[in-house]
């Protein structure tokens, strides 16, 4: 996302600082960047994204879930719904990330091999 690309104001719960979105963990920025890139590639509209994110936030217990966990869940559901990734591939990637995270020493970047 370049500085000239507007950040949609209708994304529920997006925490913006003076320089743009605020991230607490690197994976949050990566999930944000993936959603922006998929939107930029024409995979979905911002309206579709906002609706998907809103559905995740509105799920029972959603108020106790961290914002970017909603973001990631919405991204996963949307890419599956749009046929970008199927459920088995998405599950495999999730397991690869889990295994990589468990194998990574604290404070080191998580790398998929």
| pLDDT tens readout for residues 29-57 | 888 888 999 999 999 999 999 999 999 98
Give the chain's residues under pLDDT 50. Answer: 1-4
Beta strands in 16-112, from DSSP E residues, in sequence order: 16-17, 20-21
Distance CA 40, CA 45 (A): 9
Predicted local confidence at residue 62, as pLDDT: 75
Instruction: Give the pLDDT of residue 6.
Output: 55
Q: For residues 65 and 55, what is the distance between their CA atoms, to the nearest angstrom?
A: 13
Q: Whole-structure pTM over 0.75, yes or no? A: no
Query: According to the model, what pLDDT value does residue 109 have?
Result: 82
């Amino acid at each position: 996302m370049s500085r000239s690309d507007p950040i949609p104001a209708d994304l529920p719960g997006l925490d913006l600082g003076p320089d743009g979105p605020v991230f607490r963990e690197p994976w949050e920025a990566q999930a944000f960047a993936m959603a922006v890139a998929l939107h930029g590639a024409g995979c979905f509209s911002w309206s579709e994204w906002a609706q998907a994110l809103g559905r995740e936030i509105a799920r029972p217990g959603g108020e106790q879930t961290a914002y970017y966990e909603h973001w990631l869940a919405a991204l996963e559901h949307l890419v599956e719904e749009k046929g970008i990734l199927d459920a088995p591939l998405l599950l495999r990637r999730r397991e690869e990330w889990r295994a990589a995270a468990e194998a990574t020493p604290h404070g080191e970047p998580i790398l998929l091999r």
